[in-house]
Amino acid sequence: MNSIKEVVVVSGKGGTGKTSVAGALVRLLTNRVAADCDVDAANLHMLLNPVVIEEKEFVGGKKAVIDASRCTGCGTCREVCRFQAISPDYHVNQYQCEGCGACYFLCPAGAVDFSSSLAGTCYVCRDKYSKPFVYAELLPGEENSGKLVTMVRNEARAMAEKNDIPLVVIDGPPGIGCPVISSMTGVHAAVAVTEPTIAGIHDLERIIDLAQFFKCKTAVIVNKGDINPDYSKRIEEYCATKGSNFLGTIPYESKITEAQVQATTILDIAPDSPASEIIRVIHNKLLTILEEL
């Protein structure tokens, strides 16, 4: 199937409730593959309680390892390492090594091995709703999170093709950095979750500009909107000026936190709550946008 649509749920920063909203939308969007691209701090799997079908290794950049049996203790590597990654007894700290290769190329004894190592794992799963789900975890201190995001997206698209599913829903990383760009490149629509504060509006502007730079259709959800109705209104007006779809305002509700604690969505524990009702309205609006893509 080459008409698979991809939609990414983003936020200009962490703490907006993005994953709770993404989890609820994933719960309602039945014919979809879900993908958690927040590889530095994946947490959608906690709501989706998946069964892992396949684990795939993610190989990162190269790192130096010194072979003590070949090392003469000449000190050259410590002199050339600009990242102070090599200890006085010639061990490389794998968290500090930036993989520049200087020690490998300049070691007169050929005692430095320089090869790629495991940097994370990608999990291809079935979630608790028996739907396909892909997520990944980057090992602590590892880089290349953008490449791991690409791996997750590729696996999710492969699942969609294999199962003849028309939609991939991505829970994107917070912020506007490299992993967000990797999550957003080439998707059809970006749904930004924000909060009604000055910082929320500022971060929203940055993420909408980024999405529009990548020519994604954009849509906005205000979370905890009733804590500042004036700012919620300002966000709605801002959306109109940017040609962005305003999907709705989810009220603050303690049941959302309770759902997180129970590792599920508010739709599962309080389906008749005001927040659940507005999430269903938002879902229907999103379906309309997806149909128009």
CB of 87 to ligand SF4, least distance (A): 10
For residues 172 and 250, what is the distance between their CA atoms, to the nearest angstrom?
19
CB of 220 to ligand SF4, least distance (A): 42
Residue tagged 């203790």 (tokens): 73
Comparison of 88 and 292: residue with beta carbon closer to ligand SF4: 88
What is the token pair recorded at 91?
């061990």
For residues 191 and 207, what is the distance between their CA atoms, to the nearest angstrom?
10
For residues 70 and 204, what is the distance between their CA atoms, to the nearest angstrom?
55
**Partners of residue 64 on adjacent β-strands:** 114
CB of 111 to ligand SF4, least distance (A): 4
For residues 69 and 115, what is the distance between their CA atoms, to the nearest angstrom?
18
Give the per-residue contact string, 108-127, with ligand SF4 (x = CB under 6 A; - = no).
-x-xx---------------
Neighbours of 83 (CB within 10 A): 13
Looking at 75, 141, 166, 271, which residue binds ligand SF4 (CB under 6 A)?
75
Q: Within positions 24 to 53, which residues make up the interface with ligand SF4, using CB under 6 A?
A: none
Stretch that binds ligand SF4, among 10-18, 102-110, 135-143, 210-218 (CB under 6 A): 102-110
| Residue 65 touches ligand SF4, criterion: CB under 6 A | no
CA distances from 149 to 55, 121, 206, 219, 286 (A): 15, 11, 21, 22, 24
Residues in the interface with ligand SF4 (CB under 6 A) total 27
Interface residues with ligand SF4 (CB under 6 A) are 64, 66, 71-77, 80-81, 83, 85-86, 90, 92, 97-103, 107, 109, 111-112
